[in-house]
Amino acid sequence: MKRIFAGLIVTAGVVFGQGGFDVVSIKPSDPLSSDVRIAHSVSGPFEAIGITLSGLIAQAYDIRPFQLVGASGWMETDRYEIHTKDETPGPSEAELIRMPKEERDVYRARFLAKMRVLLADRFQLRAHRETKEMPVYFLTVAKGGSKLQTLPDNGKPGGNLTARRNGEGKSEVIGEKLPIVLLTRFLSGQVGRTIIDQTGLSGKYDLTLTYAPEMGDLSGPSLFTALQEQLGLKLESGKGPVDVVVVDSAERPSEN
């Protein structure tokens, strides 16, 4: 732990006093099982089976795995079963859905803060954020123009993205009133790099994107080709600023 001038203790980016989960149970996962399961609500408990410390950090800092720097060895391989509990339950999922986005964001921020307290308290994690120059993709409008159509605002909530396998086994992405920022976030997880939006598109769009997954022998366009042919968008490789979380130190947790 590190003391600073104000007398507060800061570890893993957490100022103590914000509070964590009321109860936390951590133990090694069954070494004979390869199951990985994560279940949580931003207003309720966090539960995971088969999760690594690297995976926990990605959850707590709301980053993709490629944005984590300095995690190696046991942090990538040791798997844990984690259960948390709060004595006072938060709002239900149905109540959260009815809330304005600003209120939901407050609960989300509290949840992430609790996760970082868990990391600091049980794994003695010390980490900090940096911006590094790294390989990225730039999302641009392809030659011929965007095939996305701006939708009129009908007052209904949007921003929904569903990713699934269709009847042919191909990957299918369906967006409803989707801003480009949410599309780039999804695509970033698929290609393993930060995507920087350079389309200039500021509307909300309904879209369907279908492509052949990398793993498998299905015929069909790749994600890169499908983006261009179906949406009129293009991913171009380059280098740019990427927000990362750097692990300074961590320890294996003691069991409950």
Distance between CA 22 and CA 19 in Å, rounded?
8
pLDDT band at 201 (very low <50, low <70, confident <90, very high): very high
The rounded percent of the chain whose pLDDT value lies above 70 is 89
Please state, in angstroms and rounded to a whole number, the distance separating the CA atoms of residues 168 and 159: 26
Query: What does pLDDT average to over the chain?
Result: 86
Q: What is the pLDDT of residue 90?
A: 80
Q: What is the rounded CA–CA span in Å between residue 173 and residue 184?
A: 12
Cβ pair 79, 52 in contact under 8 A: yes
3-state secondary structure of 4: coil
- Residue 181: both structure tokens together: 């920022």
DSSP 43: T
Is residue 199 over pLDDT 80? yes
Categorize the per-residue pLDDT at 157 as very low, low, confident or very high, splitting at 50, 70 and 90.
low
- CA distances to 39, 137, 194 from 239, rounded to whole Å, are 35, 8, 10
Element (H, E) at 104: helix 101-122
DSSP codes, 108-160: HHHHHHHHHHHHHHHS--EEEEEEEEEEEEEEEEPTT-----BPP--S----E
Q: Rounded mean pLDDT of 228-247?
A: 97
Strands 126-141 and 194-197: parallel
Residue 220 has pLDDT above 60, yes or no: yes
Tell me whether strands 37-40 and 23-28 are parallel, antiparallel or unpaired. unpaired
Question: DSSP letter at 5?
Answer: T
Identify the CA nearest to 196 among candidates 131, 143, 246.
Answer: 131
Alpha-helical (H) ranges within the chain are 53-61, 74-77, 93-98, 101-122, 180-191, 223-226
Top-confidence residue, 45 or 124: 124
**Residue 173 corresponds to which tokens in the numbers above?**
């992405």
Residue 96 burial (CB count, 10 A) = 17
Which pLDDT score is estimated for 216? 67
Q: Which residue has the higher pLDDT, 256 or 122?
A: 122
pLDDT in tens, 94-152: 888 788 878 888 888 999 999 999 999 999 999 999 999 999 999 999 999 999 987 77
Biggest distance spanned by C-alpha atoms of the chain: 61
Of the candidate ranges 37-41, 204-208, 239-243, the one whose mean pLDDT is the lowest: 37-41
CB atoms within 10 A of CB 90: 15
pLDDT at 156: 63
Residues 183 and 189: beta-carbon distance below 8 Å: no
Give the C-alpha distances (Å, rounded to integers) separating 72 from 55, 75, 77, 199, 247: 12, 6, 8, 36, 10
The pTM of the full predicted model, rounded to 2 decimals, is 0.76
Are 57 and 68 a contacting pair, CB within 8 Å? yes
